[in-house]
Amino acid sequence: MDSPSPTAYNLNNPAVKRIMQEVKEIQKENSYLYTARPLEDNLFEWHFTIRGPRDTAFEGGIYHGRIILPSEYPFKPPSIVLLTQNGRFEVGQKICLSISERHPEHWQPSWSIRTALVALIAFMPTKGDGAIGAIDYTPEERKSLAIKSKTWKCDRCNSDNATCLPPEPENQSNPLRDSSNSVNTNTNIKLASISFTPEPATPPAQPSMETPNPSPAPSPSKPMTPQQLALMRKRAELQQRLSRVTNENEPQPEVIPQNTPAATPAQNIPANVEVQPQPPIVQNQPTMLTRDQLRKDRILDILISIFLFALLGLLIRKMSDESNLDEL
């Protein structure tokens, strides 16, 4: 499996830079525990091969899988899938680890593909406990699958489990026995900060107040501004005052034309605005006078009063003059 050509990708992309750097580091390390490379036609899809940990039911097994990197890598975690039968993880199912996409809240950009592979090897002997993508075969079944895994080949990357890893050194202690220490001097990875997070395969449905599969709701009308609400309150108060003044002055009735619109629609007034109810306007009911009309009516009443007083004064004066002539 050859690494992709650097000229096929934008080397200024942070994800591409990081991936190319990890390709060089894994090739230089040449570990007997794992190996990984991207596909020739996709830099963000890696195929890996790991060796089963010693002193476990997976000892002697060679396991192959896929790693899918997001475009935001290394700021978002990858997804990990095993392709070889192993008795610990389901084949073709994304594994639920704190370094996988199942738990992006635990991911750290300083972690790498090597971190994921070493963590995967270390957690193979642990119990599944019903986590997503986890299974618990018996030790005998796992040992049988470990023997069969050596002859497994990948049709996608043409990797052969029998020859893809360097031979394991003899009398080599298990570097993954103590998960609280560093895995090895080459990777310097602390497994204490990585966990296999169990999750139920079918989480219970949470009660929801919303109806299932709600249809798109229509867009709400535009809310009224505080200035508009204040204007409506003032208008209602003015209408009440004018109504009282109209009842006191008893204005002449005016016929409302049939094409005159009625009161303001109630749907345009928000629920939180308190407006006093107004008497309904019928066909022959007198209309309310405006402030200008009231002012004009008052001025007209004053002028009429002055005219009457002046006329009365003239009559009195004329009568007084006539009485004086009679006496003479």
| Interval 32-60 mean pLDDT | 95
Predicted model pTM: 0.56
Whole-angstrom distance, CA of residue 110 vs CA of residue 125:
25
- For residue 34, what are the CA distances in angstroms to 17, 61, 125, 165? 22, 12, 17, 7
Buried b / exposed e across 95-132, counting CB within 10 Å, b at 16+? bbbbbbbbeeebbeeebbbbbbbbbbbbbbbeebeebb
Spatial contact of 78 and 44, defined as CB atoms under 8 Å apart: no
Q: Is 171 left (phi over 0), alpha (psi -120 to 50) or beta?
A: left
pLDDT band at 178 (very low <50, low <70, confident <90, very high): very low
Burial class (CB in 10 A: 0-12, 13-18, 19+), 256: middle
Strands ordered across the beta sheet of 34-38: 34-38, 45-51, 62-68, 79-82
pLDDT computed for residue 320 by the predictor: 81
Whole-angstrom distance, CA of residue 325 vs CA of residue 328:
5
Give tens-digit pLDDT for 262-291. Answer: 444 444 555 555 556 565 555 554 455 567
> At residue 38, what are phi and psi to the nearest 5 degrees?
-80, 160
Q: Would you kindly state where each structural domain of the chain is located, as residue ranges? A: 6-193, 234-247+288-328
- Crossing angle (nearest 10°) for helices 14-29 and 113-122: 50
In whole angstroms, how large is the CA radius of gyration of the chain? 45
Whole-angstrom distance, CA of residue 27 vs CA of residue 59:
24
Degrees, nearest 5: CA angle 67-54-165: 50
pLDDT computed for residue 82 by the predictor: 96
Whether CATH 3.10.110.10 fits 6-193: yes
Give tens-digit pLDDT for 286-307. Answer: 455 567 777 788 888 888 889 8
* Location of structure tokens 């080397």: 11
| Strand-strand pairing, 34-38 and 45-51 | antiparallel
Tell me if the bond preceding 74 is cis, omega within 30° of 0: yes
Catalytic annotation, residues: 96
pLDDT computed for residue 264 by the predictor: 46
| Interval 117-142 mean pLDDT | 90
The half-sphere exposure of 179 on its side-chain side, counting CA atoms within 13 A, is: 17
Whole-angstrom distance, CA of residue 48 vs CA of residue 205:
36
